[in-house]
Structure 1
Amino acid sequence: MTHSILHIDTSIKPEGSMSKSLTSDIVARLRAAHPESSVTYRDLAAHPLPETDAAWFAAISVPAEDRSPEQTDIAALSDRLIAEVRNADTIVIGLPVYNFNVPSQLKTWIDLLAQPGVTFRYTEDGPEGLIQGTRAIIAYASNGTRMGSEIDFASAYMRHILGFFGITDVQFVASDHFAIDAESSVKAANDGIAGLAA
């Protein structure tokens, strides 16, 4: 059976990116376990997505079948990104920590995924995520912001927002103290990749 992988990189570094190195290694591990895998790749820094605005909000607030041609065009990218997530068995996301939080490029991707009634809905019992059965593996990379520490606002946000969409199987691989001890930081990440269930 084909295993579908969505590979998302977000680092602004064209070379020498730890998060890109980690996502590449994670995808390689998944493909080794699933030789028939298909991979959809997006580099959100090299090919930035447009930020959401009032026109986008108006377009996605209308049911798809009721949108005007202009609204359909405006919502098309958001719909395509959602389809990529829905079609993925596993999403591999590079998370370089910038100023204690997620890169703006990654936040824009998340904003474009947030369509009420499509990726989430509100019920009497609270919000319900509408993307089911998808696994996420996040490559967390930081020079010194330890994952899970009081100054780490990135990993908790990613776990929360993915869960909000219904993606609750979320795993992290972390190289989170590279500027302090590069060797042990890389080793910790490699050990984390080796321990992933493929």
Structure 2
Amino acid sequence: MRRVPVNVLLVNSSARAEASTSRQIVAKVGEQFAASGAQLVSRDLAHSLPHVNEAWVQSGFTDPNDWTDAMRDAAGVSSQIVDEVMAADVLVLGVPIYNFGVPAAFKAWVDQVCRAGRTFRYTENGPEGLLKGKRAIVVVSSGGVPIDSPVDFATPHVRQVLNFIGITDIQVIGADGQMTGEGKVEAALEQAAAVA
């Protein structure tokens, strides 16, 4: 039996506003957790994040006392995002499938989250995720790409990233087939209503 989460991070990556299926389902999941007393924190990636650059990379190999202003700025954004993830008991990730993969805005978020020494570390046995004990609910929406099909490169990517940083309790809520007349939005909303 799962403990009642205290902090829930809602991450939306759809470029669409209210018409977005993934946003609607993420909101429904959020409502369920809020009703159980959880605190919600939202991160909207529609306005994007900075992409990893040379200063960001160099900050990972430099003692923070020796950071340049550019390194400090680049790592500062990442630190804020990592802090949000580390504070959350549950991550609710809204990930529409764009051109068979994740939206660029979501990939930028992933790149900011995967930080050596913060969310994973290198060991003699390979990388080890440092965010064990968290739960992730991944809301995947698609117009035509069937979720977990051979042409869905988004859902396996998100699972791999979560596993890499130590999150193995992963639930996928799928709403695919929206443009093919086989939409599963209602079923996904029903799943969302039963997550907390």
Structure 1 residues 1-12: aligned runs within 5 Å: 3-12=6-15
Q: Does 1:39 align with 2:21?
A: no
SS in 2 for 1:145: coil
- Which residue type is aligned with residue 25 of structure 1? K
Residue in structure 2 matching 1:13, options 8, 13, 16: 16
Q: Name stretches of at least 5 consecutive residues in structure 1 with no aligned partner.
A: none
**How far apart, CA to CA, are the structure 1 residues paired with 2:66 and 2:115?**
15
**How far apart, CA to CA, are the structure 1 residues paired with 2:172 and 2:9?**
16
Q: 1:98 to 1:70 in 2, by over 3 A?
A: closer
Q: How many pairs does the alignment contain?
A: 193
TM-score w.r.t. length of structure 1: 0.90
- Which region of structure 1 is more displaced relative to structure 2, 60-69 or 113-122? 60-69
**How far apart, CA to CA, are the structure 1 residues paired with 2:18 and 2:85?**
26
In the TM superposition, what is the alpha-carbon distance from 1:40 to its structure 2 partner?
1.2
Equivalent residue, structure 1, for 2:58? 58
In the TM superposition, what is the alpha-carbon distance from 1:2 to its structure 2 partner?
6.9
Per-residue CA deviations over 1:107-145 (Å, capped at 9, x if unaligned) read: 000001121122112222221001122111111100111
In the TM superposition, what is the alpha-carbon distance from 1:190 to its structure 2 partner?
2.2
Q: Does 1:27 align with 2:27?
A: no
**How far apart, CA to CA, are the structure 2 residues paired with 1:17 and 1:161?**
24
Equivalent residue, structure 1, for 2:89? 89
Structure 1 residues 22-171: aligned runs within 5 Å: 22-32=25-35, 34-35=36-37, 37-45=38-46, 47-171=47-171
- Which region of structure 1 is more displaced relative to structure 2, 113-122 or 3-12? 113-122
**How far apart, CA to CA, are the structure 1 residues paired with 2:21 and 2:123?**
40
- Equivalent pair of 1:6/1:90 in contact (CA under 8 Å): yes
- Which residue type is aligned with residue 188 of structure 1? A
Q: Name stretches of at least 5 consecutive residues in structure 2 with no aligned partner.
A: none
- Equivalent pair of 1:174/1:192 in contact (CA under 8 Å): no
**How far apart, CA to CA, are the structure 2 residues paired with 1:141 and 1:111?**
21
- Which residue type is aligned with residue 6 of structure 1? L
- Equivalent pair of 1:52/1:108 in contact (CA under 8 Å): yes
Q: Does 1:193 align with 2:192?
A: yes
- Equivalent pair of 1:5/1:91 in contact (CA under 8 Å): yes
In the TM superposition, what is the alpha-carbon distance from 1:92 to its structure 2 partner?
0.7
- RMSD of aligned C-alpha atoms? 1.7
SS in 2 for 1:94: strand
TM-score w.r.t. length of structure 2: 0.91
Per-residue CA deviations over 1:141-195 (Å, capped at 9, x if unaligned) read: 001111111111100000001110111111111101111235x511221232244
**How far apart, CA to CA, are the structure 2 residues paired with 1:15 and 1:39?**
19
- Which residue type is aligned with residue 10 of structure 2? H
SS in 2 for 1:6: strand
